Amino acid sequence: MADVDALISSAYQQILEVIGSVEPRIADATRQELVDQRASLKLIASENYASPAVLLTMGTWFSDKYAEGTVGHRFYAGCQNVDTVESLAAEHARELFGAPYAYAQPHSGIDANLVAFWSILAHRVEGPWLEKAGAKNVNDLTDEDWETLRHELGNQRLLGMSLDAGGHLTHGFRPNISGKMFHQQQYGTDPATGLLDYDQVAAKAREFKPLILVAGYSAYPRRVDFAKMREIADEVGATLMVDMAHFAGLVAGKVFTGDEDPVPHAHVVTTTTHKSLRGPRGGLVLAQEEFASSVDRGCPMVLGGPLSHMMAAKAVALAEARQDSFRTYAQNIANNAQSLAEGFLKRGATLVTGGTDNHLVLLDVSSFGLTGRQAESALLDAGVVTNRNSVPADPNGAWYTSGIRLGTPALTTRGFGHDEFDTVAQLIVQVLQNTQPGTTKDGAASKASYVLADGVADKVKDASSELLDKHPLYPGLTLD
Ligand code: PLP
């Protein structure tokens, strides 16, 4: 490994020199980003540190290639190597997740969800409609047919988890395209427990009869019973789509199995590759065979040319996730989240749902008299990088919020364990206990400004650098 480290060090030295010879400010910012990431406690639940192999794979001449179409069926010449890359990414994804079909082209999680939505519409609405109209494919339709089809496609219903209960923007949130292209309704969590209320989901589904039932989340600290979600979908004739962007690493690492593994239960599963899965930024769609041909039409339905360099990096990351060591990593993510949650609870902090059983905790900072925005800023001053997040029925709305979302995947990659996460909880509580809400220029109460007591940020930074030094990021990589 030492040789690989030395190789990576010298590779990045040279890469930054080449970049710097064209635009030195980008080389400087890149160096500084490494310095900053090394020096902070990164607790953003959706972030991670990809391996040097994944990082290096992103920066190659595959970036220069256009390859619209699918493997072996491209609209451009000379795509034989892209075919190799895309086939491998899909093969690793199928094997890793036990999925009948995988599509590696989506550039991001949002793209993956758009591909999924349109594939479901194509399969469930357009297909039967074409058959009725006696047309072979959409190219055979007249303008009049299109008018009707547009109406039918645009009148479908989607039921997803609400944003403040932990769902994602793309799960039917009004300002997002998913909330505009579908008639949408949202399910939430039980106000008393903060837990997903399956009876409420079932009742809404029976009443609303969605075409698509979306499960999955960005900020819900618990596991989901996907077998139950499938039962609900089947009862009302809906397609179950699961967005596992956040917890794909826990599925890959076999922490979530049986009813908690979405792949055998959902018709279509989407994910990002860069969160707990620890790959490059990107998306994937997995599907049951029945949906394969419509998902394959991601391009030209909603995508243009695939990012071949990113598909190559997905293949490398998925190959890493197939190694036994990834299972240990995934289990550590979940164990560390438990430790973080216990660390908060024993110090009197309030957690949405009272704890966690996945990779994230949602800390309700209103008990410290703060908004999420104030807490996020004070923590950043102390070198703790988090993001503010709504809590269910948040009185401070989606901008100021009352919560802080914290995830364990990134620091687990650095090697943090049980005791270190307990210390992280202690440091966060120390910052929040020493932060007071500030006032506006006119002396009115402010939801944004804050006062962090003198000396606390430095004390916390000193304590965290002890932890960070014990677990260096990219240990073999030195930059001048
Ligand atoms: N789906 C979920 C559940 C997410 O949490 C996110 C991002 O945070 C996305 C989709 C979107 O991913 P991307 O930022 O890659 O578009």
**Catalytic annotation, residues:** 66, 68, 243, 272, 275, 281
pLDDT tens for 434-480 read 999 999 988 899 999 999 999 999 999 999 999 999 999 998 888 87
How does strand 350-351 pair with strand 212-216? Answer: unpaired
* For ligand 1, atom 14: residue with the closest CA: 109
The annotation places the binding site for (6S)-5,6,7,8-tetrahydrofolate at 163, 167-169, 289
Q: What is the mean pLDDT of residues 125-142?
A: 86
How many angstroms separate the alpha carbon of residue 99 from the centre of ligand 1?
21
Q: Give the mutation target among 161, 171, 218, 244 for probing the ligand 1 site: most ligand atoms within 8 A of CB.
A: 218
Q: What is the pLDDT, as a whole number, of residue 2?
A: 53
pLDDT digits (tens, 9 = 90+) for 277-308: 999 999 999 999 999 999 999 999 999 999 99
Annotated binding residues, written as ranges, equal: 163, 167-169, 289
241 beta partners? 214, 268
Q: Separation of 245 CA from ligand 1 center, angstroms?
A: 6
Distance, CA 109 to ligand 1 centroid (Å)? 5
**pLDDT of 3 over the 80 cut:** no
CATH topology of domain 324-470: Aspartate Aminotransferase, domain 1 (3.90.1150)
Residues of the chain with CATH 3.40.640.10: 62-321
Q: Which two tokens stand for residue 354?
A: 């009272």
Q: Which of 44, 108, 113, 168 to mutate to test the pocket of ligand 1 (most atoms within 8 A of CB)?
A: 168
Distance CA 237, CA 232 (A): 9
CA distance 15 to 23: 12
Tallying the residues shown for the chain, one arrives at 480
Structural class in CATH, domain 62-321: alpha beta
Which atom of ligand 1 is found nearest the CA of 219? Answer: 5
Q: Is 104 helix (H, G, I), strand (E, B) or coil?
A: coil
What's the pTM?
0.96
